[in-house]
A = this chain, B = another copy of it.
Amino acid sequence: MQYRVAVVGASGYTGVELIKMLLAHPHFKISYISSSEGDESISALYPALSEIFDEVLQKTDIEAIKEKADLAFLALPHKSAMEVAKPLLEAGVKIVDLSADYRLKLENYEAFYTKHTDPKHLKDAVYGLPEINREKIEKASLVANPGCYPTATLLSLVPFLPYLDLSYPLMIDAKSGVSGAGKKCFSKTHYVTINENVFAYNPIKHRHSIEIKEKLELIAKELVDLVFVPHLLPITRGMLVDSYVLLKEPIDPLEVLQDFYANEPFVRIKSEPVDVKAVAGTHFCDIFARREGKKLFISSAIDNLLRGASSQAIANANIMMGLDETVALPKIAYIP
């Protein structure tokens, strides 16, 4: 079975990662790629792909996508995404949206982003974290791909929710490679700013805070207070999220994780601290935890562009189209 897929906003990093995986996907054929300007070839933007994928980006055209695609991956900025998604959904095109536009409840979205222009579809959107939401994704026409930081954070915290003393805030110190900041050149992505440096940004106020909070509260069915502070690191790809939480009673954290993820091929539980190179280039999430008394430290590593965006999008699309979820999901890291 072959499905035609579009990649809208294919010129950015998550776009090119989607293309890289789709080239090896036996059931998804790239039928349409576009950007806002159009008229640039992927191999001009990414010489690495010359003689492999030399297609030219179209200027994003909704009618063309309706015609050419069974499913569209939207790798667009928030706000633009829902403007494109809305008519495509009306036309029956399945959507995996990599932006935040369909991830949150309306009131949270509007408090932290902007006025929502497609509340109708928002209410049926499914949050695309397969380990948590697989059954809903199967039936979804619209999947909101989680943010990178929330992916790593939720995968590490959800298993512990029943055991946490939620009268205390969850403290989350996150670290990401620079590819997470996108392709645009500005002072935070200038080599001289990042090299040999590390710093927090948007401490406490980062939009991924509300996404993490909302999803944890949905599962815990109680209020969850948290402090989330991201940092930029001088690496290209990779994300490490460290959480500091309190338990109600002592537990064996590795056992909790192993039980929760017993049948999950893409979550690995480690007895030594995880590192991002072991997952860079893959869909894996590696998780480590250590307890002392009721204090629990959890460390979670993913590839921010893959598990944090594009490979998770492929996983979601696989599920939506009734395919084996693991098809084309990369497993072999870029090591050494």
Contact = CB atoms under 8 A, between A and B. Distances in A.
A189 B185 contact: yes
Nearest to A286: B47
Given A52-B331, A178-B192, A191-B195, A201 B273 contact: yes
A234 interface: yes
B199 A192 contact: no
A194 to B, nearest CB: 5
Nearest to A171: B244
A109 interface: no
Interface string A119-134: 0000000000000000
Given A192-B336, A270-B47, A290 B203 contact: yes
A20 interface: yes
Interface in A39-67: 46-52
A257 to B, nearest CB: 14
Contact of A295 (B47, B227, B299, B332): B227
Nearest to A229: B297
Interface string A22-44: 01100000000000000000000
Contacts of A225: 293, 295
A262 interface: no
B275 A305 contact: no
A236 B191 contact: yes
A31 to B, nearest CB: 20
B198 A297 contact: no
Contacts of A277: 48, 196-197
Given A50-B268, A187-B185, A333-B49, A275 B179 contact: no
Given A203-B290, A244-B244, A280 B196 contact: yes
Interface of A: 13, 16-17, 20, 23-24, 46-52, 168-169, 171, 173, 175, 177-179, 183, 185-187, 189-201, 203-204, 225, 227, 229, 231, 233-238, 240, 242, 244, 246, 265, 268, 270, 272-282, 286, 288, 290, 292-293, 295, 297, 299, 301, 305, 331-336
Closest 8 CB pairs of A and B: A171-B244, A199-B275, A48-B333, A185-B185, A173-B173, A48-B278, A200-B273, A178-B191
11 contacts: A48-B279, A48-B333, A49-B333, A178-B195, A185-B187, A199-B273, A200-B299, A225-B293, A233-B234, A237-B336, A281-B334
Given A197-B238, A198-B275, A199-B240, 14 more contacts: A23-B332, A46-B278, A48-B278, A48-B279, A48-B333, A49-B332, A177-B196, A183-B192, A191-B193, A192-B336, A195-B195, A196-B237, A203-B273, A204-B290
